[in-house]
């Protein structure tokens, strides 16, 4: 039995694991590489996986760096089922359709550029047509309900505390001779006490695993205290609302948007900020937020209580969903205190760019950056304090106040990652199972490896293409 790694090796994106026994082949996640110059090339190079011989795919959660290459399986001859939790099965179409549209837009833009240089057009990585057959293959597995996904491969999902529907996986393997092995995949782990989302629940059972695959995004540090962050958030809101000004918040559609809505609700319910209208100005953000509301039973105890008292888990008065471009444009004409949450999270596309163009030059407006901003994005230039930025070819002077809030995260910090690993600590005298560290850059994963070594484990840091025989 063997596990091979084809992504998220010394990096955060592109998660892909191939699990093989002598009778079955299952893929765990098939994510897009993102954020690097050569990401597109890497996404186009199919790893050595014979899709026609794959029996199934198991998905940890709906983020595009875990599911974004699934549409490629179609043309490659995949005929099996794709298993995920019920909420993830609902999130995946939203995410993949958006990804397909982005791929097409990028290809169109690059083709125009190529045409000017006398070069051939660029084909999109995939199109919305490639997404449909993938969606048709989805099958749900509830948390904590083991299910055989291929001959001799049984999967149990447990809460990973990251985003709606996210799961860790306990995978029981049995080959044709009856030999058994257990592999645990952390998936992406969330921080404890995250808004709306339950804390992770490591998949421990009587059988100790032979291999643990653990993410290490923040293996080298802890996040800033969430309560301090929320307090700071409240202060910024209070000031802006007192001044009757707009607060623009670029946010990822899934996860960050909903946790911000939760905190806004909490702050206004407890009277820490006055009432004001909040707009979710992103078609994807609106769909995702409605899914959080639909799947309120999978959320944490606090959200369930709110749902019972309020009729919905976010319990936010004056929450408005904007779906059409016209509704979005109308906000330009509206004045007074309001919060606008729009995508994209790094201001490199989406409706937030229009809002920034219309508002950055205004002195009273606040821009609140509550997520990671990659090099080269408009969001990063704002964080770095640019006094002028280019938007749609136009130079805009930045007079708005830009605030950066560092403490919101959907990822476990080092302490929480160690707590998750601690659940697998063997009884005295017993050796640690194999531990493979992935989904983190080399700095964080080395730092985390050092911590695990202090606990007695001997983790290894695989490169792309690495294989583990069990």
Residues that bind Zn ion (CB under 5 A): 63, 65, 188
Please name which of 419, 413, 8, 63 lies closest in space to residue 256, comparing C-alpha atoms: 63
Please name which of 323, 318, 264 lies closest in space to residue 290, comparing C-alpha atoms: 323
Q: How far is Cα 148 from Cα 66, in angstroms, rounded to an integer?
A: 21
Cis peptide before 348 (omega within 30 of 0): no
Which of 273, 410 has the CB closer to Zn ion? 410
Which of 10, 265 has the CB closer to Zn ion? 10
Q: How far is Cα 136 from Cα 141, in angstroms, rounded to an integer?
A: 15
Which of 47, 364 has the CB closer to Zn ion? 47
User: What minimum distance in Å lies between the beta carbon of 41 and Zn ion?
Assistant: 20
User: What minimum distance in Å lies between the beta carbon of 439 and Zn ion?
Assistant: 6
Which of 85, 359 has the CB closer to Zn ion? 85
User: What minimum distance in Å lies between the beta carbon of 457 and Zn ion?
Assistant: 22
Which of 91, 141 has the CB closer to Zn ion? 91
**Burial class, 137, CB count within 10 angstroms (exposed 0-12 / middle 13-18 / buried 19+):** middle
User: What minimum distance in Å lies between the beta carbon of 440 and Zn ion?
Assistant: 10
Q: How many CB atoms lie within 10 A of CB 349?
A: 14
Residues whose CB is less than 8 angstroms from the CB of residue 396 and which lie 6 or more positions away in sequence, other chains included: 356, 357, 360, 361, 388, 389, 390
Which of 160, 359 has the CB closer to Zn ion? 160
Q: How far is Cα 180 from Cα 408, in angstroms, rounded to an integer?
A: 41
User: What minimum distance in Å lies between the beta carbon of 340 and Zn ion?
Assistant: 25
Q: How far is Cα 156 from Cα 169, in angstroms, rounded to an integer?
A: 6
User: What minimum distance in Å lies between the beta carbon of 367 and Zn ion?
Assistant: 25
Which of 63, 354 has the CB closer to Zn ion? 63
Question: Token pair of 205, please?
Answer: 């059972």
Q: 211 pairs with which residues across the strands?
A: 183, 434
Please report how many Cα atoms fall inside a 13 Å half-sphere around the Cα of residue 216, on the Cβ side.
30
DSSP 3-state of 40? helix
User: What minimum distance in Å lies between the beta carbon of 65 and Zn ion?
Assistant: 5
User: What minimum distance in Å lies between the beta carbon of 363 and Zn ion?
Assistant: 37
From residue 111, give the alpha-carbon distance in Å to each of 35, 100, 105, 116: 20, 16, 10, 9
User: What minimum distance in Å lies between the beta carbon of 12 and Zn ion?
Assistant: 6
Q: 148 pairs with which residues across the strands?
A: 154
Residues whose CB is less than 8 angstroms from the CB of residue 397 and which lie 6 or more positions away in sequence, other chains included: 360, 361, 387, 388
Which of 191, 265 has the CB closer to Zn ion? 191
User: What minimum distance in Å lies between the beta carbon of 15 and Zn ion?
Assistant: 6
Which of 367, 412 has the CB closer to Zn ion? 412
Question: Token pair of 455, please?
Answer: 């606990």
The two beta strands, 56-58 and 467-469, are unpaired
User: What minimum distance in Å lies between the beta carbon of 70 and Zn ion?
Assistant: 14
Which of 276, 372 has the CB closer to Zn ion? 372
Q: How far is Cα 249 from Cα 340, in angstroms, rounded to an integer?
A: 6
Positive or negative torsion for Cα 161, 12, 351, 97: negative
Which of 63, 246 has the CB closer to Zn ion? 63
DSSP 3-state of 168? strand
CB 365 within 8 A of CB 273: no
Which of 63, 181 has the CB closer to Zn ion? 63
User: What minimum distance in Å lies between the beta carbon of 369 and Zn ion?
Assistant: 20
């Amino acid at each position: 039995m063997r596990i091979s790694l084809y992504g998220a090796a010394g990096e955060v994106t592109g998660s892909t694991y191939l699990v093989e026994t002598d009778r079955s082949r299952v893929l765990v996640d098939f994510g897009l590489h993102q954020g690097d110059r050569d990401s597109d090339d890497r996404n186009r190079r199919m790893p050595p996986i014979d899709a026609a011989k794959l029996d199934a795919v198991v998905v940890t959660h709906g983020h595009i760096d875990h599911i974004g290459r699934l549409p490629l399986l179609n043309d490659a001859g995949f005929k099996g089922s794709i298993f995920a939790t019920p909420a993830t099965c609902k999130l995946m179409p939203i995410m993949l359709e958006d990804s397909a549209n982005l791929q097409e837009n990028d290809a169109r833009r690059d083709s125009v550029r190529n045409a000017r240089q006398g070069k051939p057009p660029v084909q999109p990585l995939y199109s919305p047509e490639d997404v449909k057959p993938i969606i048709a293959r989805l099958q749900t597995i509830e948390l904590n309900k083991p299910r055989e996904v291929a001959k001799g491969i049984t999967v149990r999902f447990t809460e990973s505390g990251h985003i709606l529907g996210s799961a860790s996986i306990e995978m029981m393997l049995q080959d044709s001779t009856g030999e058994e092995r257990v592999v645990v995949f952390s998936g992406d782990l969330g921080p404890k006490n995250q808004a709306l989302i339950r804390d992770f629940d490591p998949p421990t059972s009587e059988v100790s695993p032979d291999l643990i695959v653990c993410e290490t995004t923040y293996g080298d540090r802890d996040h800033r205290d969430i309560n301090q962050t929320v307090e700071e958030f409240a202060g910024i809101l209070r000031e802006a609302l007192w001044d009757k000004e707009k607060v623009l918040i670029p946010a990822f559609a899934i996860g960050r948007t909903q946790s911000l809505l939760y905190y806004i609700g909490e702050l206004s319910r407890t009277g820490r900020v006055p009432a004001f209208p909040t707009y979710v100005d992103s078609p994807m953000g609106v769909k995702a937020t409605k899914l959080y509301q639909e799947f309120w039973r999978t959320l944490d105890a606090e959200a369930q209580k709110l749902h019972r008292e309020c009729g919905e888990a976010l319990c936010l008065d004056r929450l408005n969903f904007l779906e059409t471009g016209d509704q979005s444009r109308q906000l330009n004409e509206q004045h007074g205190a309001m919060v606008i949450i729009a995508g994209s999270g790094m201001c490199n596309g989406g409706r937030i760019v229009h809002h920034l163009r219309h508002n950055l030059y205004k002195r009273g407006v606040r821009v609140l950056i509550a997520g990671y901003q990659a090099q080269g994005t408009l969001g990063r230039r704002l964080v770095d304090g640019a006094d002028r930025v280019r938007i749609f070819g136009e130079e805009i002077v930045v007079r708005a106040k830009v605030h950066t809030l560092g403490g919101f995260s959907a990822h476990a910090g080092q302490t929480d990652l160690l707590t998750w690993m601690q659940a697998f600590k063997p009884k005295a005298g017993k050796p640690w199972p194999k531990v493979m560290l992935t989904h983190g850059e080399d700095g964080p994963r080395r730092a985390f490896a050092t911590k695990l070594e202090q606990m007695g484990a001997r983790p290894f840091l695989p490169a792309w293409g690495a294989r583990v025989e069990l």
